[in-house]
Structure formats: structure tokens, C-alpha cells
């Protein structure tokens, strides 16, 4: 049995980074991973502009302004956002300027309107009193000060969310180079499994893993290909895996990796020429876990994860080992692994001490910090009912049998 951290490292080493690139319209690329660095086509800001509502002045003219000795400047024009200034600001002059407006030629400093007093009737050509000396160049956002033309706006491997979309849009990048999503075939093995709309006969259960795994695959940034239920017959399993190989980059099956009489997955993988890298990992739940690679047929070598069938084991091993692999396979530059967060556990956490043990529940943020709330009910790998609401797994390390209530525990964040 491989220790969990070694299994994680071994799996990540098997995962190739994507090489192909596809162009996706800006409004359809949320959740995708940038496949090329984006050089800025423009200076940001595009021109010197004002950060405040006020007056664009020449610093020289106002360097000794005060409430007692205000400086009187003649207004040239008002510059609203979206319009170019039409007049330069000469000695003794100022322009009315609004946030984001272009700075007129000659002006180098913004005086905020709160430290000024308007003279005259408010129409163009009247005057303004400056009552305070500003800092030189105050409230001017200089052209190119955020990013210059040709500099990288964003790096390869960045996940595209709201802020990244804003940057891409601002840079007028309307077709975005992204990596193709990895295609992940999902197979459920077991003669006992039926679809949710089938009447249940004695001994049958619903193939719930298929739905959960498809959702988690999607959350990990990949494309699920649910291929349905495969009976516990070697020929059927062989045909299903071959069909999955023809359409997917990664295959995830659940069930059939244990040592039972009908657990054929490892044998069929070997028959199909796959290389078995992992057969079991020292984790609970989820000890039987098969990881294999197929020889590359042209492109990159398909990766196979044979997860245990028990619903909790299947999901826990997915979160712990498959999701990081999919994140790397999707092209994400960093942050593949599970996120471990220290939290105070409200309840005592018990484990056998032989295997890294995961107890499911919720991570809650309180003013005192993060707290782990253990799910109520049995922590049994066959009990999927109390998994609902899970957003975190508390990790009890090998060699530890008890983490007392109130003590700190490492928690893996597993999504909403």
C-alpha cells in the first residue's frame, strides 16, 4: 500500500500537460485555461487620465496655494469622460476634468474639487480658486503605468474567471486561446447497478456514482463523457474500456477494483496492454485504487483511474487523487493538488492509525478562524447519505488515532 502523498506525486508525474490549443470566443471561455500568454496590445491606461473629479492644472501654478492665499486659475474647458481635450492648459489656466477623462496637454496635476472654489457663474471660461497645494502629479494615472504594450497581461496556464475576463475584454481579445478540456469517460461497473428511473429489484441499487463523478469531473474543469453501466463480465468490461479509450483522454471507472470474485478491472487493463502504476493506497476510505496508463496512440497516453465502488470511497479518492490530475491535465499552471487548510475540529476525530483517514463534513469560517464540523451519522464508506452538504474532508494522518475536539486538523477543501 502506497502512502497517500507518494500516490499523489506519482499520479501527477504520470499526467501530461496539454499541447493543443483552441480558440474560444470571449463570452464562452469562463472556466477555461489560457493556452498562450497574452501580450498587451495597448498601454494601460491608454492615455494619461484623471483618477478624480476636479481640475487639471500645471503644478507650477499652484505650488504655493493655500486657503489664506488661494491661486486663481482661468478655466479653458470641461473634459467629460469619452472626449478628447480640445485646448492646452497654459500658465494660469486649468481645465475642469472628470474621473477617467484624458489629461489636456500642459496639465500635469489634478486638484480635487473639494479643495477648490468656483468663481463666476459656472459656464465655460470662468475661474477656479485652488485652496491647497497638491502633490506634484497627484491623481494622474499615467499612460502605461499598469501595463505597457507588448508586456504580458496574463500567463499561460491561468484559469479564466471574472477578473481574467475583464482583462481579456479590456485588451480586446475576442478569441481566446485555451486548452481543450480533457475528455473524461465515466464507467460504472457492477451487475447490481441500475439507472435511477428503473424499478429496483431485490439486490439492485442505483448507479449513483455516475452522477456524482460527472459533476466532480466538470468542477475540475474537464468534460465528462458518461458511458453508463458495465456488467461484471470480462468481455463487457473490455469492450467498454476500449470504447472509452477511443473517445477520452482519461477514464474513470468505479467498482471492480477490489479482490472480490467479480473484480476484473486490473486484469482487463493488463490484457489491454496498460501499465499498472498503483494498485492500492494507504487511505481510508478508498484503499483499492488502480492507476494505469495506456500506450500513447498518436497523442498523449490515456490515463485510467479505477476507483472503488462504494460511493464515499469513489468520491473521496476522486477528490484526493483524480481532481488534481485533471487540473494538471487541463493545463492549469499551478495549484493542482488538494487545498489543505488548518481548522479547529468541533468534535473528536477517530481513526485506525494505519491509513490516512478522511472524515467528511463542513468547513465553516468563524471570527475565530476555520472550524471543521463533522457530518453526523455513520462514517462508513457505504453511507452516502451523510455526504450531502460536504465541503471538506478532515485528514487524520497515519499514526494518529485521535484528534481531540478543539485541536487543529488539516482539512481538504472539496468545493461547495
Min dist. Cβ of residue 257 to Mg ion (A): 9
For ligand AMP, the binding residue among 209, 293, 345, 357 (CB under 6 A) is 209
Give 36 or 204: the residue with its C-beta nearer to Mg ion: 204
Instruction: With beta carbons less than 8 A apart as the criterion, state whether 314 and 321 touch.
Output: no
Q: Which is nearer to Mg ion, 50 or 209 (CB)?
A: 209
Examine residue 190 and tell whether it contacts ligand AMP (CB under 6 A).
yes
Closest separation between CB of residue 29 and ligand AMP, Å?
33
What are the cell numbers at 245? Answer: 479509450
Return the number of the residue (308 or 338) whose C-beta is nearest ligand AMP: 308
Nearer to Mg ion, 50 or 254 (CB): 254
Q: Taking CB within 5 to 8 Å according to partner kind, which of ligand AMP, Mg ion, none is near residue 310?
A: ligand AMP
Which of 255, 285, 306, 361: binder of Mg ion (CB under 5 A)?
255
Cα 164 to chain centroid distance, Å, stands at 11
What x/- string results for residues 341 through 360 when contact with Mg ion is judged by CB under 5 A?
--------------------
Distances in Å between the Cα of 406 and the Cα atoms of 334, 343, 409, 413 are 32, 9, 9, 19
Q: Which does 134 bind (CB under 5 to 8 A by kind): Mg ion, ligand AMP, none?
A: none
Rg (CA), the chain: 31
Neighbours of 250 (CB within 10 A): 23
DSSP letter (8 states) at residue 355? S
Choose between 176 and 257: whose C-beta lies nearer to ligand AMP: 257
Site for Mg ion (CB under 5 A): which residue of 54, 190, 224, 302?
A: 190
- From CA 213, how far away is CA 235, in angstroms rounded? 24
> In angstroms, how far apart are the furthest CA atoms of the chain?
96
Q: Which stretch binds Mg ion (CB under 5 A): 115-123, 168-176, 251-259, 310-318?
A: 251-259
* Residue closer to ligand AMP, measured from CB, 180 or 190: 190
The C-alpha cell 462504494 sits at: 310
Quick one: what does residue 400 bind among Mg ion, ligand AMP, none, with the CB cut-off 5 to 8 Å set by partner type?
Answer: none
CB of 227 vs Mg ion, minimal distance in Å:
16
Give the bridge partners for 394, in sequence order. 359, 411
Burial class (CB in 10 A: 0-12, 13-18, 19+), 69: exposed
| Backbone dihedral angles phi then psi of residue 99, each to the nearest 5 degrees | -55, 130
> Beta-carbon neighbour count of residue 127 at 10 Å?
15
**What is the chain's percent helix, strand, coil content, to nearest 5?**
20, 35, 45
Residue 7 cell numbers, joined: 500516490
Closest separation in Å from C-beta 255 to ligand AMP: 3
Find which of Mg ion, ligand AMP, none residue 207 binds, CB within 5 to 8 Å per kind.
ligand AMP
How far apart CA 243 and CA 221 sit, in angstroms, is 23
222 vs 265, beta carbon nearer Mg ion = 265
Letters for 279-318 (x = contact with ligand AMP by CB under 6 A, - = none) are -----------------------------xxxx-------
The Cα 45–Cα 145 span in angstroms is: 7
Termini Cα distance of the chain: 31
Q: Please provide residue 32's backbone torsions phi and psi, each rounded to the nearest 5 degrees.
A: -90, 170
Question: Does residue 311 interact with Mg ion by CB under 5 A?
Answer: no
Binding status of residue 205 toward ligand AMP by CB under 6 A: yes
Please report how close the Cβ of residue 286 comes to ligand AMP at its closest, in angstroms.
10
Task: Give the binding-site size for ligand AMP (rule: CB under 6 A).
Answer: 18
Asked if 260 is part of the footprint of ligand AMP (rule: CB under 6 A), the reply reads yes
Kindly list the residues in this chain that would bind Mg ion in the complex (CB under 5 A): 190, 255-256, 309
Kindly list the residues in this chain that would bind ligand AMP in the complex (CB under 6 A): 188, 190, 192-193, 205, 207-210, 254-256, 258, 260, 308-311
Amino acid at each position: 500500500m502506497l502512502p497517500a502523498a507518494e500516490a499523489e506525486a506519482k499520479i501527477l508525474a504520470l499526467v501530461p500537460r496539454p499541447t493543443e490549443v483552441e480558440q474560444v470566443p470571449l463570452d464562452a471561455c469562463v472556466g477555461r485555461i489560457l493556452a498562450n500568454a497574452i501580450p498587451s496590445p495597448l498601454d494601460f491606461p491608454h492615455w494619461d487620465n484623471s483618477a478624480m473629479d476636479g481640475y487639471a492644472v500645471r503644478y507650477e501654478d499652484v505650488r504655493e496655494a493655500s486657503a489664506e492665499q488661494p491661486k486663481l486659475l482661468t478655466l479653458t474647458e470641461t473634459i467629460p469622460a469619452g472626449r478628447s481635450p480640445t485646448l492646452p492648459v497654459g500658465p494660469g489656466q486649468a481645465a475642469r476634468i472628470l474621473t477617467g477623462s484624458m489629461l489636456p496637454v500642459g496639465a500635469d496635476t489634478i486638484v480635487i474639487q473639494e479643495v477648490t472654489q468656483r468663481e463666476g457663474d459656472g459656464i465655460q471660461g470662468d475661474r477656479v480658486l485652488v485652496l491647497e497645494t497638491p502633490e506634484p502629479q497627484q491623481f494622474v494615472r499615467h499612460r502605461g503605468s499598469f501595463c505597457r504594450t507588448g508586456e504580458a497581461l496574463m500567463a499561460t496556464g491561468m484559469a479564466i474567471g471574472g477578473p481574467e475576463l475583464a482583462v481579456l475584454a479590456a485588451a480586446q481579445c475576442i478569441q481566446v486561446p485555451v486548452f481543450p478540456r480533457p475528455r473524461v469517460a465515466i464507467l460504472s461497473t457492477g451487475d447490481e447497478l441500475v439507472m435511477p428511473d428503473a424499478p429496483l429489484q431485490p439486490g439492485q441499487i442505483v448507479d449513483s456514482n455516475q452522477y456524482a463523478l460527472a459533476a466532480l469531473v466538470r468542477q475540475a474543469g474537464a468534460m465528462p463523457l458518461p458511458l453508463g453501466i458495465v456488467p461484471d463480465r470480462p468481455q463487457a468490461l473490455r469492450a467498454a474500456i476500449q470504447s472509452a479509450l477511443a473517445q477520452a483522454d482519461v477514464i474513470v471507472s468505479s467498482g471492480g477494483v477490489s479482490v472480490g470474485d467479480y473484480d476484473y478491472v486490473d486484469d482487463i487493463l493488463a490484457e489491454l496492454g496498460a501499465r499498472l502504476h498503483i494498485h492500492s493506497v494507504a487511505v481510508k476510505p478508498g484503499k483499492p485504487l488502480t492507476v494505469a496508463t495506456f500506450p500513447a496512440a498518436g497523442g498523449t497516453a490515456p490515463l485510467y483511474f479505477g476507483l472503488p465502488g462504494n460511493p464515499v470511497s469513489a468520491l473521496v479518492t476522486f477528490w484526493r487523487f483524480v481532481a488534481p490530475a485533471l487540473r494538471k491535465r487541463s493545463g492549469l499552471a499551478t495549484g493542482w493538488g488538494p487545498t489543505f487548510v488548518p481548522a479547529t475540529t468541533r468534535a473528536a476525530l477517530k481513526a485506525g492509525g494505519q491509513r490516512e483517514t478522511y472524515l467528511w463534513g463542513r468547513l465553516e469560517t468563524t471570527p475565530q478562524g476555520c472550524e471543521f464540523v463533522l457530518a453526523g451519522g455513520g462514517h462508513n464508506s457505504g453511507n452516502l447519505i451523510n455526504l450531502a452538504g460536504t465541503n471538506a474532508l478532515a485528514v487524520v494522518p497515519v499514526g494518529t488515532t485521535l484528534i481531540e475536539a478543539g485541536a487543529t486538523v488539516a482539512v481538504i477543501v472539496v468545493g461547495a
